[in-house]
Amino acid sequence: MEQAARLIRFSKYTIALTGAGISAESGIPTFRGHQGLWERYDPMEYASIGSFIEDPEKVWKALYELDEIMQKARPNPAHFALAELEKMGYLKAIITQNVDGLHQAAGSKNVIEFHGSAKRLICLNCGRVYQREEIDTSVLVPRCKCNGLLKPDVVFFGEPIPEKAMELANQEVDACDLMLVIGTSAEVVPASILPWEAKRSGAKIIEVNLSPTNLTDEITDIFLQGPATKVLTSLLKKMTV
Ligand code: NAD
Ligand code: ZN
């Protein structure tokens, strides 16, 4: 923890890459790990663009349950700690794989949503974007004014990363000399490649996770094992003394 704090203090450009694990303690289930939702709904089936187009009603029914959880979720101390590090000038950007909007809700400003946002819906026909609140999702399947199918504006398996997010993320990765990798299994491509790219261009890696990942023995410089809320709160404390 001491070493990590020192590294953050002396780095010129620190960024964070976050995954579902940082929102786990806000009550949103991660994909991997033993939790109700994804044991009933295989993400490869329910979060794939192919299945969505084939049977949007089936996918929307599953999304409904996740949507309810997300609407209720509030940022946790880990989200707040990152927002605070940004305010203090220690953290320049967050690239998040999460679609829950909790980094912004905690006050983080420079957030790159690599996988889109569940706070928006997009029409698969005309591309029009709606705010989640504008649409009544209790009537399935929600449709656009043009009658096109509405889909949460998140990247499903089989869809590309939004161009702008990809471009911004690459810029941040190139610029950073330290990357905090928090609560991600680093198994979903291409987000999982970002830490490798950072490392290749000379950045140090601090990883925060409940358990080791395939990055840990390969490229992680400091592994802080534990729940993100606890680890980041302690780290923040070290940065403020
Ligand atoms: P993942 O589910 O593959 O992995 C979660 C990781 O977080 C695991 O390595 C796990 O050990 C770790 N973890 C769990 N609880 C933790 C905690 N309290 N503190 C620290 N670490 C913890 O998640 P991923 O790598 O983000 O990939 C899954 C994909 O699913 C992503 O693309 C993401 O967009 C999407 N997803 C998003 C949300 C969300 O928006 N909150 C939730 C589920 C899935
Ligand atoms: Zn439309």
Q: How far is the CA of 176 from the centre of ligand 1 (A)?
A: 23
Whether the CB of 240 sits within 6 Å of ligand 1: no
pLDDT of residue 56: 94
From the CA of 31, give the closest atom in ligand 1.
2
The rounded distance, in Å, linking the Cα atoms of 158 and 176 is 29
Per-residue pLDDT 10s for the chain (241 aa) are 999 999 999 999 999 999 999 999 999 988 776 565 677 788 778 889 999 999 999 999 888 888 889 889 999 999 999 999 999 999 999 999 999 999 999 999 999 999 999 999 999 999 999 999 899 888 889 999 999 999 999 999 999 999 999 999 999 999 999 999 999 999 989 999 999 999 999 999 999 999 999 999 999 999 999 999 999 999 999 998 7
pLDDT of residue 67: 85
**Tokens 């990942």, residue located:** 213
Non-local (6+) Cβ contacts of 184 within 8 A are: 17, 18, 19, 20, 21, 97, 191, 192, 209, 213
Residues acting as catalytic residues: 115
pTM (2 d.p.): 0.95
Domains in the chain and their CATH numbers?
Answer: 1-27+74-115+161-241 (3.40.50.1220), 29-72+122-154 (3.30.1600.10)
